[in-house]
Structures are given as structure tokens and as C-alpha cells.
């Protein structure tokens, strides 16, 4: 495999992501983006964030070196994100168990997973893209933007559950 910016900064912490942009791509570019994301086991938005991050790093270095009146001024504290080195071993987070709802009358007698813990004012926190989506359309969001993963698969991951919990806490503090 080739060495790339994506591998160098695979899954960095980009902080709280609050702004969303919709971009139209050609079929060829979209196919290449999806193939790269799948190869690296990240989502297409993560690939785009990493590429932008690296581009801003280059611009900041050029700006500091030349001290010219460039068109783009980027403050270091705005775009400085922690880097994850490949030689650092992360501690495993304790396994968080999803909070299942009461049993329903479904055949098989199993419990149905719900996302009420991560809902605020009719919206559910998406820890994969750090955004909020209508609770009634949350499964559709996961299907369209995250490869069809289920809500239970997302929130059963302790890292994702922790991110969603922080998002809920911040939203509740803001008075939603």
C-alpha cells in the first residue's frame, strides 16, 4: 500500500464538528473517494476532513515562511488538531453496554434497541459525523451516509457512545 496523508492521520480527533457542507462530486471522484475510505476503514467525510486538515497545515507553513499578504489567513489555534502517531498504543475503553428498551411484542421475544439516551428535542446525535439528525430519520441518515450501519452497531461501540454522550451533554447545557 502507498503512504498517504490519510494513513498518516488516520482517525484524528477533530474536536467538535458543528458545520456541514454538501459537495457534489463526479461519479469518478465519488467512486475513488468511497474506495479509499473503504480501504482505510474510515468514512468519506473523514477522508475529506483529513485532506483539508493537511492542506491547511501546508498553507499555514507557507504563510509563516513567506510572511506575505496571502488571501487565506488561518489562525493556529483554530485548525490545530492533535495527531495520532502510529506507534502510540491507545488504552482500551471499558465496554459500555447499550441501554435496551423494554421488550416489545416482536416475535422471538428479543429486546429492541432504542436511541432515547442520545436524543434531545426530537434529534439524535450522530457520533460518526458529529452532527444532529431527526430521530425519526436517524436510520435513514446511517444508511445513506455511513454505509448502512445500524443504530445498535453505532451506539454499542464505547467510543461512539462516549462521543454521543458528550454531544447530548453539550446540547442540554445550551438549553435545548
| pTM attached to this predicted model | 0.39
The predicted model gives 47-55 an average pLDDT of 83
Confidence of residue 11 (pLDDT cuts 50, 70, 90): low
Lowest mean pLDDT among 51-55, 115-119, 133-137: 51-55
Cβ 111 vs Cβ 101: under 8 Å: yes
Confidence of residue 20 (pLDDT cuts 50, 70, 90): confident
Higher pLDDT, 10 or 122: 122
Mean pLDDT of the chain: 76
User: pLDDT per residue over 119-128, tens digit each?
Assistant: 998 899 999 9
Handedness of CA 145, 140, 12, 176 (dihedral sign): positive
Burial (CB count <10 Å: 0-12, 13-18, 19+), residue 8: middle
Amino acid at each position: 500500500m502507498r503512504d498517504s496523508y490519510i494513513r498518516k492521520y488516520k482517525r484524528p480527533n477533530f474536536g467538535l464538528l458543528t458545520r456541514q457542507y454538501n459537495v457534489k462530486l463526479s461519479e469518478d471522484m465519488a467512486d475513488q473517494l468511497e474506495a479509499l475510505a473503504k480501504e482505510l476503514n474510515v468514512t468519506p467525510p473523514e477522508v475529506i476532513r483529513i485532506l483539508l486538515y493537511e492542506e491547511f497545515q501546508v498553507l499555514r507553513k507557507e504563510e509563516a515562511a513567506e510572511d506575505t499578504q496571502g488571501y487565506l489567513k488561518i489562525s493556529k489555534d483554530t485548525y490545530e488538531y492533535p495527531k495520532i502517531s502510529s506507534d502510540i498504543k491507545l488504552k482500551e475503553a471499558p465496554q459500555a453496554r447499550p441501554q435496551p428498551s423494554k421488550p416489545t411484542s416482536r416475535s422471538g421475544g428479543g429486546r429492541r434497541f432504542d436511541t432515547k439516551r442520545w436524543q434531545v428535542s426530537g434529534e439524535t446525535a450522530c457520533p460518526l459525523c458529529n452532527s444532529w439528525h431527526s430521530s425519526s430519520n436517524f436510520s435513514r441518515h446511517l444508511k445513506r451516509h455511513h454505509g448502512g450501519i445500524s443504530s445498535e452497531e453505532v451506539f454499542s461501540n464505547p467510543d461512539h457512545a462516549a462521543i454521543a454522550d458528550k454531544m447530548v451533554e453539550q446540547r442540554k447545557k445550551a438549553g435545548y
